[in-house]
Structure 1
Amino acid sequence: MCMTMQTWFITGVNSGFGRELTEQLLSRGDRVAGTVRREGTVDDLRAKYGDRLWVGHLDVTDLPRIREVVDTAFADLGRIDVVVINAGYGLFGAAEEFTDDQVVHQVTTNLIGSIQTARAALPHLRAQGGGRLIQISSVAGLAAHAGASLYHTSKWGIEGFMEALAQEVAPFGIEVTLVEPGGARTSFSGSSLQLSEPLAAYDGTPAAAVRAFRHTQVPVPGDPVKVAAKVIDSAAHQPAPMRLVLGSDSYQGITAALRNRLAQVEPQQASAAETDADTATQHG
């Protein structure tokens, strides 16, 4: 069966899921417009695949540059079928331990950078009559743990944005998927993970558990090759899955968090209604 070549735009293709997605797509014959923060980090792929790999230099905290790069990619390549918003990193530690600059940088990179990338792509996707937006989120976008408050902030934020956006752009033939991977054996635990400077006050508390990342390679179940393959496959599904849960740890973490949230909310059905306006008062 002959497969139609597609063109993908992916942020952060130098490592992690972005790199794995790019390698798999190029190997099957697709085109990729990829962004990197450090020039030269995908020269091996450019040498191997030639002009099927378009590379743009982009730090997603440079917000005006995002639109420049997206506009140029569409201008150079024409139609782009799938936009994958992948660039990001994790900042871990107790909320009180972060510097103000760390707070701003985490939210700017993971949340505002992702929002602006989607916004930059939308006029092009509308003009061409549709396309697919895929946001790499995380189990951390639906479940929360001590020591990851800022990372959760960025991921929970993008979950809400993308879920609302999907409803806004559906009339234009644009579909949205949030990818919810669990732990995977990528560079996330290395170059893409940052830790706060510890405060002694948090020694022995739940938030301190993340300090083990400084000294220990935490075992994770996810295979990035399999994760990337599932993400690629999802782009062909109609309708698009709103959420793509990848990894047994992700499924367990998400379902446990949602059940716990329902357990907190459902007993309040009667008391919640006590604050409704009286019907007679409303229409009297």
Structure 2
Amino acid sequence: MAKTWLITGCSRGLGRALAQAVVDRGDRLVATARDPASLAEFVASGDERVITAALDVTDPDAADRAVAMAVARFGTLDIVVNNAGYGNVAPIEDTGLSDFRAQIEVNLFGTIIVTKAAIPVFRAQGRGRFIQVSSIGGRVGAMGRAPYSAAKFGVEGFSEVLADEMRPFGVQVTIVEPGGFRTDFAGASTRIADGNPAYAETVGRTAAMQRAYDGHQPGDPARAAQAMLALADAERPPLRLVLGRDAYQRAERCDEARLEELRAWRSVSVSTDFAR
């Protein structure tokens, strides 16, 4: 049975690849971007199964309108994909508070805003799925991307609570953690700054790697889109899904190291309870 999707950030990257995959398999789509003119090809290829909406994810009224458009046009909304986001590279010391706020506003509050717009529809239906596109940088801090990682860690905490609160209503939540995919995320979508020379061996190396990485990322956006289609069809989807061999390896190393550290400090952790 065809599903109705609302995807944010469809103008480029993983959002565009997923939107195309949704159209190709015959599902219904509300494709959103700040400039809906960039989405004309989806309307042309999807005919009446596709509508576009102007959506700045930081605008609650625009989010409400996009959700309302989906229900008015298709009578239902099955899957919301919070994909829109970006992340710059610079040392924390050289990143202004306005830049911190802007990245957190889009990456975290944008997800919260769109999610809240869709919750009443999903709750009333007694079904629905949120696919929250985080990042491996939302599980492991990403050197040089402190605002982005701060926001994505926030997305993960928010989404864990969301999953618990919405489960009684038949609503499922999955956090997707992509690694490096061959989009313009490390290119035109990112502002890269080496920053203070004092950080040459840390953030400076990250900045150089990002410049060299652009166009050579291991991940295939079309395959990521197929993985998310499979996720949307899964009867019991996971709370988290990493995408890409690089993301999987980094997540595995991180989780094993955390567990080892947790156990190493167990005696101190449990020593703070009242004596029995």
Decide which structure has the larger Cα Rg and report it. 1
Matched residue type, 1:208: G
Counterpart Cα distance in 1 of 2:156 and 2:218: 23
- Residue correspondence of structure 1 range 52-131 to structure 2 within 5 A: 52-131=49-128
1:49 aligns with 2:83: no
Give 1:195 deviation, angstroms.
Answer: 2.5
Q: TM-score, normalised by structure 1?
A: 0.92
| Paired-residue identity, % | 37
C-alpha distance after superposition, 1:39-61 (max 9, x if no partner): 31011221222221111101112
Further displaced range: 160-169 or 258-267? 258-267
1:209 aligns with 2:209: no
- Residue correspondence of structure 1 range 1-284 to structure 2 within 5 A: 4-196=1-193, 198-202=195-199, 204-212=200-208, 215-218=211-214, 219-279=216-276
Give 1:197 deviation, angstroms.
Answer: 6.6
Q: Secondary structure at the match of 1:133?
A: strand
Give 1:10 deviation, angstroms.
Answer: 0.5
Contact 1:97 1:197 in 2 (8 A): no
Matched residue type, 2:167: A
Contact 1:10 1:83 in 2 (8 A): yes
Counterpart Cα distance in 2 of 1:214 and 1:256: 21
Structure 1's unaligned 5+ residue stretches are 280-284
Distance 1:54 1:177, change over 3 A: same
Counterpart Cα distance in 1 of 2:231 and 2:142: 28
Q: Secondary structure at the match of 1:90?
A: coil
Counterpart Cα distance in 2 of 1:150 and 1:52: 37
Q: TM-score, normalised by structure 2?
A: 0.94
Q: Secondary structure at the match of 2:265?
A: helix
Give 1:213 deviation, angstroms.
Answer: 5.7
CA RMSD of aligned residues (A): 1.6
Matched residue type, 1:79: T
Q: Secondary structure at the match of 2:217?
A: coil
Q: Secondary structure at the match of 1:13?
A: coil
Distance 1:215 1:20, change over 3 A: closer
Q: What is the aligned residue count?
A: 275
Contact 2:18 2:225 in 1 (8 A): yes
Counterpart Cα distance in 1 of 2:135 and 2:164: 21
Contact 1:93 1:195 in 2 (8 A): yes
Give 1:72 deviation, angstroms.
Answer: 3.0
Give 1:66 deviation, angstroms.
Answer: 2.0
Distance 1:64 1:124, change over 3 A: same
Counterpart Cα distance in 2 of 1:263 and 1:252: 17
Contact 2:31 2:39 in 1 (8 A): no
The equivalent residue for 1:282 is: none
